[in-house]
């Protein structure tokens, strides 16, 4: 029984520990709010990546790039040349993922910064897409029949090179990491292309396959009824959720359902004037899909959809986090309490064992008596003494030398004086 309780405690501890691990950045980060009454959604997808090249031992790269900062930064919308090609590229991926939704409009923010330090150079990529997504509502809501919403478009991105024409930089390829090196360090780019690890510089920045490949059924679900409370306005809720319940699906936390989310690391080498090592780093993909209404995940013909109703089913535990019934949560809490009590019992037993180990094993202090071993000196009695066991040999048989009858310090009385004339200062004479 005790082993079972301890297993429950360890299980709950693992859930808490794993659930608390959250990545800071992500290669693909999706944020979107879906309303089945509006067949249009404004999404935001952020892609990030960092490549670091080490030249701590010097070399041509250290001489050319140390201390330099180079960047490309611009904003583009659907009116820019090349944006229509990017929209078509993204829609082809959405279709390949089995979705009927499509992007009809798109804004883009691009940033690439090459920073030369004393020991390495880092290249940071950041692309933010703000697409308008349409045609994702498969069926509208009716009494007794929830709305059905397509969610298979969630892991969108772009394949191959993507070129955008800008007034400031001209044509800029934004999807392949090698393009930044070709712009700022052509000789290094040539060395990278001939490296056996060159594939790391051709992996698309706009890639969110992790969001698409993680089933929504594994995401964390939280139902929030705050919007329909009488005092909801006091919480500063946005107009889009005021008067409605909200369902939140989040992905990216390490958990028993999603598994351990780890960063993506790609390492390799290339040769220029010498061998240089590089490292490409991306954190795991994360997503936050907010749905107006009570949403449940369903599977239809190998495709995931969300069934959405204006309110939660009767009896649904609105205070619980996730899809666990309240009874299960209470049971888990009770098991944790029992496990805690078991741990306390084990601690008490261990404490008793340790206490017994450190108990007094010598002479009982109550059987000892104190015996003074020094006489008075100069009118004062010292506190020097020894402990003596009651009932054993007389103390006089083993007392120390200093306990003889003679005093330890020679005493003088006032009558014993070396001079009968008293004590006067030297050279003193009575006045005449």
CB 199 within 8 A of CB 178: no
Q: Is residue 28 part of a domain?
A: yes
Give 293: exposed, middle or buried? Use CB within 10 Å, 0-12, 13-18, 19+.
buried
354 in a structural domain: no
Residue 47: pLDDT band by 50, 70, 90 thresholds?
very high
Q: How would you label 259-291 residue by residue, b for 16+ Cβ within 10 Å and e otherwise?
A: eebeebebebebebeeebebbbbbbbbbbbbbb
Look at residues 412, 347, 350 and name the one whose alpha carbon lies nearest to residue 377: 412
**Residue pair 399/381 in contact by the 8 Å Cβ criterion:** no
Q: What percent of the chain has pLDDT over 70?
A: 65
Residue 371 resides in a domain: no
Whole-number pLDDT of residue 83? 93
Residue 415 in domain: no
Range of the domain at 224: 2-338
Query: Which has the higher per-residue pLDDT, 377 or 304?
Result: 304
Res 284: pLDDT: 83
352: Cα separation from own chain's centroid: 39
**pLDDT for the residue 143:** 87
| Range from 21-30, 193-202, 240-249, 379-388 that averages highest in pLDDT | 193-202
Q: Tell me, what's the pLDDT at 176? A: 97
Q: pLDDT class for 315, splitting at 50, 70, 90?
A: low
383 located within any domain: no
* 403 found inside a domain: no
Pairing, β 170-173 against β 264-271: unpaired
> Which DSSP string do the residues of 374-389 spell out, in sequence order?
--EETTEE---EEEEE
pLDDT, position 321: 42
What are the pLDDT digits (tens) for 207-241?
999 999 899 988 999 888 765 554 545 555 555 55
From the number of C-beta atoms within 10 Å of its C-beta (0-12, 13-18, 19+), residue 111 rates as: middle
369 domain-assigned: no
Confidence tier at 14 by pLDDT (50, 70, 90): very low
Q: Considering the domain boundaries, does residue 363 fall inside one? A: no
Looking at the structure of the chain, the number of domains it has is: 1
The per-residue pLDDT for 320 is 40
């Amino acid at each position: 029984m005790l082993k079972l309780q301890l297993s429950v405690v360890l299980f709950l501890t693992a859930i808490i520990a794993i659930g608390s691990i959250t990545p800071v950045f992500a290669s693909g980060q999706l944020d979107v709010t879906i309303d089945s009454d509006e067949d249009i959604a404004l999404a935001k997808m952020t892609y990030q990546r960092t490549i670091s090249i080490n030249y701590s031992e010097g070399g041509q790269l250290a001489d050319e790039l140390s201390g330099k900062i180079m960047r490309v930064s611009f904003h583009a919308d659907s009116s820019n040349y090349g944006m229509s090609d990017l929209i078509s590229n993204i829609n082809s991926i959405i279709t390949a993922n089995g979705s009927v939704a499509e992007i009809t409009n798109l804004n883009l923010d691009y940033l690439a910064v090459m920073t030369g330090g004393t020991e390495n150079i880092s290249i940071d990529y950041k692309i933010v897409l703000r697409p308008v997504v349409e045609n994702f509502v498969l069926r509208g809501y009716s009494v007794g029949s929830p709305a059905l919403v397509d969610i298979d478009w969630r892991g969108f991105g772009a394949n191959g090179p993507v070129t955008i024409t800008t007034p400031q930089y001209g044509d800029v390829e934004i999807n392949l990491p090698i393009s930044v090196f070709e712009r700022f360090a052509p000789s290094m780019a040539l060395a990278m292309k001939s490296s056996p690890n060159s594939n790391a510089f051709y992996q698309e920045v706009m890639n969110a396959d992790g969001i698409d490949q993680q089933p929504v059924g594994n995401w964390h679900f939280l139902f929030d009824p705050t919007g329909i409370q009488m005092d909801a306005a006091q919480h500063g809720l946005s107009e889009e959720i005021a008067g409605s319940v909200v369902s939140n699906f989040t992905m990216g936390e390490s958990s028993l359902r999603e598994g351990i989310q780890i960063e993506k690391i790609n390492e390799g080498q290339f040769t220029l004037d010498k061998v240089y090592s590089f490292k490409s780093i991306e954190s795991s993909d994360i997503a936050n899909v907010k749905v107006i209404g009570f949403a449940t995940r369903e599977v239809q013909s190998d495709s995931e959809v969300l069934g959405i109703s204006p309110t939660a089913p009767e009896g649904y535990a609105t205070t619980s986090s996730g899809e666990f019934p309240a009874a299960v949560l209470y049971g888990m809490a009770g098991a944790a309490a029992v496990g805690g009590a078991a741990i306390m019992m084990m601690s008490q037993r261990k404490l008793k064992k340790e206490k017994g180990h450190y108990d007094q094993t010598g002479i009982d202090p109550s059987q000892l008596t104190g015996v003074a071993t020094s006489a008075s000196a100069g009118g004062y009695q010292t506190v020097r003494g020894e402990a003596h066991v009651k009932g054993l040999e007389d103390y006089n048989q083993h007392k120390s030398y200093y306990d003889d009858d003679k005093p330890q310090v020679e005493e003088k009385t006032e009558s014993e004086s070396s001079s009968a004339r008293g004590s006067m200062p030297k050279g003193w004479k009575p006045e005449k």
